[in-house]
Structure 1
Amino acid sequence: MEKLLYAAELVREDGTYKLVVQDVVRDTVQVTPVPESAVARLPAFLSVLSSKLGSASARGRW
C-alpha cells in the first residue's frame, strides 16, 4: 500500500519562484525561494534523478 510522506509544489508568485514542501507525517510545511535558473534546469535534474533511481514506470508514481 502506498503512503504519501511528502508533497511538493513549485509556485510562481509576483515573478519569483518558491518551493513548498509539506511533510505529511509531521504536518509541517517548509518554503524556500528558488532562483529562476534552477527552475529552468528542473526537467534535466529530474531526468538525471529518474535515470539514477530507475525508470518512473517501474517506480509507479511520478
Structure 2
Amino acid sequence: METLLYAAELVREDGAYKLVVQDVVRDTVQVTPVPESAVARLPVFLSVLSSKLGPASAGGRR
C-alpha cells in the first residue's frame, strides 16, 4: 500500500517560479523561490537522480 508523505508543485506566478512542498503527514506547506535557470535544468536533475537511485524508483508516480 502506498502512503503519500509529500506533494510538490512547481508553480509560475507573475513570471517567477516557486516550489510548493506539502508535508502531508504534518499538514504543513513550505514555499521556496526557484531561479529560472534551475527550472530549465530540472529534467536533467531528475534524470541523474533516477539513474543514481536505480530502476526500482525510476518509474515513480505519474
TM-score (norm 1): 0.90
Which residue is equivalent to 2:53? 53
CA distance in 2, matches of 1:56, 1:41: 23
Check whether the contact 2:51–2:58 (CA below 8 A) recurs between aligned residues: no
Report how far residue 61 of structure 1 moved.
Answer: 2.7
Which residue is equivalent to 2:4? 4
Gaps of 5+ in 2: none
> What do the CA deviations read for 1:24-61 (whole angstroms, capped 9, x no partner)?
00000000000000000000000000001112666553
Return closer, same or farther for 1:13/1:60 CA change in 2, 3 Å cut-off: closer
Aligned structure 1 segments of 4 or more residues deviating by more than 6 angstroms = none
RMSD, matched Cα:
1.8
CA distance in 1, matches of 2:18, 2:58: 30
Gaps of 5+ in 1: none
CA distance in 2, matches of 1:61, 1:55: 13
Check whether the contact 2:50–2:57 (CA below 8 A) recurs between aligned residues: no
Check whether the contact 2:17–2:33 (CA below 8 A) recurs between aligned residues: yes
Which secondary structure state, in structure 2, belongs to the residue aligned with residue 56 of structure 1? helix
